Amino acid sequence: MIAKRELRRPRLCVIGTVILFALLTLACPNRSGDRLTHAHLIEFAGDSATDCGHVALGQEFNTANSCVLGAFQEKHSFIVRYDVQGRDSRLVVGLAANDQGRVVIVKYDSEGWDPHQLQSDDRLADNGHVLLKPCPAESKLHKTQTGYLSCFDY
């Protein structure tokens, strides 16, 4: 009888640990989204890029946007990340420029992206959760309706 009870405790511990890990993962999707977005932005812009920050939901955009616009005007590499509330998911939208003046948007979606809606230059990464979208050459940056900067009209 003791042997059966001893076997049940570790199994319950393992199950409890798995459930706790799953709940934490679901509760903090933007942490992993921010890490993935940040990694792709740095890969594009380089280690010496100015990090203009990560704007969380509800925070003001002005400081990050001023940093980006200043770096962009000076033709210096930069990165920035914005948390955005999607319809049914959480998004992290990143923008980066490299020293050659190329600009890219990196978007993380906790639900993933539909590969059938990609344009020819778009690329998916990280099991379809990250969309890399190059901006057109000679891009100009502008503020979207939600406040973050983009090279596209949304």
Strand partners, 150: 142
Full pLDDT tens readout for the chain, 154 residues: 555 555 555 555 555 554 444 333 334 444 789 999 999 999 999 999 999 999 999 999 999 999 999 999 999 999 999 999 888 888 999 999 999 999 999 999 999 999 999 999 999 999 999 999 999 998 899 999 889 999 987 6
Return the number of other C-beta atoms located less than 10 Å from residue 109's C-beta: 21
b/e per residue 132-146 (b: at least 16 CB within 10 A) = bbbbeeebebeeeee
Query: Is residue 48 a contact partner of residue 110, using CB atoms and an 8 Å limit?
Result: no
Specify the pTM.
0.78
The whole-angstrom separation of Cα 25 and Cα 6 is 29
Q: Roughly what angle, to the nearest 10 degrees, separates helices 2-27 and 29-45? A: 60
